[in-house]
Structures are given as C-alpha cells and as structure tokens.
Structure 1
Amino acid sequence: MPPAHTTGDATVRVFLGELAGDRSPVATFTPLLGAQIDLPPHATVALDVDPSFEHGVLLDQGDLRAGGDALGIGDLWYQSPGCDRVELTNRGDTPARALLLGGPPFGEELVMWWNFVGRTHDEIEAFRAQWQDQDERFGEVAGYPGTRLPAPPLPNGRLRPRRNPTPRGAP
C-alpha cells in the first residue's frame, strides 16, 4: 500500500501519478491519476487536479458528495476536463473512502461496456467472445473466489460510442 499523507482533513494515498504534492513510484506509460481518499465524518477536502484530465470519484464507503452531487456506494461521479479542483464532502457520521481516478480523455470516440473498451460494437462483441473463451489476451484471473466471472449478455441493441467530453465552459 502506498504511504499516506494528510491534505486538510483527508488522508490521501496516491497509487498512480501525482496529487497534492505526492507522487506514486509506479511507472505509467500515459499520464494517469489514482488515489485513495479517506475522509473523517463531516469533513471536506478540495483537491487541486490537472484541468486537462477527466476525473472520476468512485465511492467505496460512507456518505460522500463529490462536486455537490450525492454518491451511493459503488457510484462513479464524473468531472469533465476543464476543472482544476475536485471537492469531496463526507456528510455522514462514519468515515468515507473513495478512489479518485483521472487522465487525459481519449482523442477518439470509444465504446465502453462491462470491462471492455473498444472503438465499435463489433470490437466489444469480439472482446466479449475472447473473454468467454478464456483467451490469453486477458491473462489468468487469480485470487477471485470461485470460477471466472462470465461476461453478461450483450444488450439487444448495438452499442454506440460515447462522445468525447467537452471541457466545462467550452462551446
């Protein structure tokens, strides 16, 4: 586990990239951000982030607001590029824990479904088939209790690419 440091009331563990003056020792091939944020009850933290990144906050436990939006356990909050701060508030009486993830947006439209990212519906369909066939492309899943988790069935319609995010305030 990466070492923790304190930023305001938050305990921050940076496992990818750089945040709040702390840098992960993990080498990456693209600029990325990954950090665990622990907030005590009724605490708020504002974190300076790279405005060229898109960011997500994934809530693991607690009663958290990200950018003013309430999150449930397992919810992923999204902030488009163009913002230089992420504000988190623990509204509850127990500690909150979340992951802050970030990176530059892809320059192309992508199709995202389950654990797969591709450029077209057909690519996702092929990736799903490879996963189901335990293709070596995906490696071996170790440490998962029970048999390998199967991919869910594809939806009845065709998957469409998501639009690239536009920075807040951009036309």
Structure 2
Amino acid sequence: MDDLTSRLHVLRGREVPLGGPRGMTVMRTLPHRDCSLVGPWCFVDQFGPDDVSATGGMQVARHPHTGLATVSWLFEGAITHRDSIGSHVLVTPGAVDVMTAGRGITHSEFTTNDTTTLHGVQLWFAQPDAQRFGDPAFALASTERIEADAFALRAGFGEHSVTGPGDQVVTARGDLQMGVPLDFLEITLDPDIEVTAHLDAGHEYAVVVDRGPVTVGAGERPVVEADGYDLVLVPERSESVRLTAGEAGARVLLIGGEPLGEDIVMWWNFVGRSHEEIAEFRARYQQEMGFEGADGEALDPDSDAARPATEGDLLFGTFPPNTPRPLPAPRLPGGRLRLRGRRPQERREGRGT
C-alpha cells in the first residue's frame, strides 16, 4: 500500500468464525496487513444479517481482554453482556455498549432467545499506555437518531457535522466520554443521495460500509466504490469525506480519532506492548481459569484445580456460578509477536515501497 495520505484505500473483509471454528461467521477488516490502526481503533468485525435459527447467533463464553475497550453497535437483534465487574445488561439497537478492559476483565456475549436476526458491528480501540492499567469499567448509553432530508445520523462518540442535499447542515453528538478523542457516527442514506461529513484534519478516519454500494471521495483524489463488509481508509489530514449512495441506499459508520501514537502488540483478546507482556497475560488467564498450572502444564479437567478461581488477587475477576465454562486461550505462536502500528512495520522502517 502506498502512503496513507495520497488516496483512499478499500480493505475487504475476511471471514472469521466467532468464538471458535463452529461459531457464527463475522467479516473482519481490522487489523489488516496494510493497516492496523485508525486513530486508536484496532479491530472491526461486522456480522449479519444473520439467521440465528441457522447459525445459533452469537455464543461467546467467558473470555479475557486487556489494554483495550470493546464497542458493540447493533442494527437488529439483541445480545446479553455479562462481565467480571458485575455488569449484566441487554444490548439493543440504538444503544452503544462500551467495556473498558484496563488491566484485565472477562466477559461473555450471547444472543437473546427471542432474537431471530442478528446484525451489527463490534469494534475495539486500544487504550493509551497511560490508561491501559486502569480499572476495568462498563458503560451503556442510548443514542439519538437524527432525521434529515434523505439521510439520518446516529452518533456514538464525538461531535459531527454533515452537509446534505440543499446544503442542509445536520449535527450529532455522542454523550459518552472515553478519555481519548474518538469519532463514531452512523450515517444512513436514501437512494442516490450524497452527503459530506466534515472531519478533524488532525484525526485518522475510516468508513465502514454496512450496506452499499457507496461511492467515497475525499478532496480531489479519485473516488472509490465500496460495498457491504468493506472498510475505506480516508487519507490523513482530510477535512471532509463525501458519501454517495447507489439506487438501494446505503448505511455506513464513520470511525476515527486522534492518532494513538504508539505501537501495540495484539494477539487473541489481549493488547499489550511486548511479546513478554502478552505471554504473561495469557499465563495469568490460563491459571485463573483453571486450564493450566503455574508451570504452564495443562491441568486434568476433572481435577478440583481445573476450575476458575474465585478468590485471591485475580487479574480477570470472577463470574457467577452456573455459567458456561470459559474459553481457553490458544497456544502462542512459535515466533515472537510483532509490534503493530498505523502502517506495516517494514514500511515504517524504510524497507517497503
């Protein structure tokens, strides 16, 4: 990929089974081999519309996170969220669900029994080094759908201004403050409608396409065509982005934020700053969940020791009894985990073209 200031780039989603090889399939656009960060956003999964009767929907048992925040945004269906700090809530369309992992948290996510179709997006943003060992937290907030002439807005984070047909200017603002400058705006367009979203030139942005096709433009650069499950990287230092829906209309998410300014190591559900740190997070989780002993050897699943810990200095907290068994962490790869940044490492080190 050439320099991220020169043109728009379309990243195609790749299929990933959620929660294991028999899980619901999601389409993942971040991280990508060509770009790992958009502002602090480091992970984007799109799912659905998913027929829950055929796939079972989202069935993700207890699992860990460190150094990041998860964001759930639904278009259809509902999810039950439970975590190790005592949260147990219903997530529905029109709400933004944010779980901040800090030094460590575990949670589970299950489609509700009355959900027939599940459709939405889940994202992560990396916490800055100064915040990533803070206390875990959870927040759930309602958002307002703002109707305009031929388009609608719904803001999760940040303040936004969009110019539509007839030069009408519509603003939307997300109420949650996360300690880092974030942008998150849902834009729904009627057929053949063009709008211009105004940007902070100091932030990095991407357009996540839920429903298209949509034509995306920025300044005088050539436009690109994108469709569902695509992510379009907006050139850095752009002051606006144009979105033009096709004859079927479109729905996109505009995500962005202030550049993180740090490289991260991201593996499985952990974000850290080194291979050794990730290895320690994994070992601690495996021990607290009763999968491995302090020596790293697997425990007999029928032994008393092979149960999640319920007392002591627990990094990943506790869960109520009679909930599904936690997910075990996969084995670390044979080589060292590498740092990720906005651009591929070889290009930042001058080895690419």
TM-score, normalised to structure 1, is 0.70
Q: Which of 226, 231, 239 is 1:84 aligned to?
A: 239
* 1:169 alignment partner in structure 2: none
Match of 1:42 in 2: 192
Change in CA separation of 1:130 and 1:5 when aligned onto 2, cut-off 3 Å: farther
- CA deviations on 1:139-170 (whole Å, 9 max, x unpaired) are 799xxxx987777776665443234469xxxx
Distance 2:209 2:287 in 1: 32
Q: 1:82 to 1:138 in 2, by over 3 A?
A: farther
Is 1:108 aligned to 2:108, yes or no?
A: no
- Structure 1: runs of 5+ lacking an equivalent: 167-171
- Structural mapping, 1:67-82, within 5 Å: 67=217, 68-82=223-237
How big is each residue's C-alpha offset from its partner over 1:33-91, in whole Å with a ceiling of 9 and x where there is no partner?
11111111222211101111111221112212333223332222222531111222222
Distance 1:65 1:154 in 2: 41
Q: What is the aligned counterpart of 1:53 among 195, 203, 215?
A: 203
Mapped partners of 2:160, 2:275: distance in 1: 35
Select the structure that is richer in strand. Answer: 2
2:228 and 2:328 mapped to 1: Cα distance?
Answer: 23
Distance 1:2-1:156 versus aligned 2 partners, 3 A rule = same
Letter in 1 for 2:194: T
Please give the residue correspondences for 1:8-157 in structure 2 after superposition, counting only pairs within 5 Å.
Answer: 9-20=150-161, 21-67=171-217, 68-91=223-246, 93-113=247-267, 115-127=269-281
The range that moved more, 113-122 or 45-54, is 113-122
- For residues 174 and 274 of structure 2, the distance between their equivalents in structure 1, rounded to whole angstroms, comes to 34
Partner SS state of residue 27, structure 1: coil
Write the letter of the residue equivalent to 1:4.
R
User: Would you say 1:2 and 2:150 are equivalent positions?
Assistant: no
Within 2, Cα distance between the matches of 1:73 and 1:59? 5
* 1: CA distance, partners of 2:149 / 2:335: 47
CA distance in 1, matches of 2:276, 2:198: 39
Structure 1 or 2, whichever has the larger Rg, is 2
Q: 1:138 to 1:84 in 2, by over 3 A?
A: farther
| Further displaced range: 7-16 or 26-35 | 7-16
Determine if contact 2:212/2:226 at 8 Å carries over to the other structure. no
Query: Between the two proteins, what is the percent identity of the paired residues?
Result: 37
Contact 1:128/1:151, CA 8 A, preserved across alignment: yes
The RMSD of aligned alpha carbons is 3.4
Check 1:118–1:26 CA distance in 2 against 1; reply closer, same or farther (3 A cut). same
Gaps of 5+ in 2: 1-141, 162-170, 218-222, 290-313, 349-353
Is 2:193–2:249's contact at 8 Å kept on the other side of the alignment? Answer: no
Q: Distance in 2 between matches of 1:2 and 1:117?
A: 28
Measure, in 1, the Cα distance between the counterparts of 2:329 and 2:224: 30
Residue 160 (str. 1) matches residue 338 (str. 2): yes
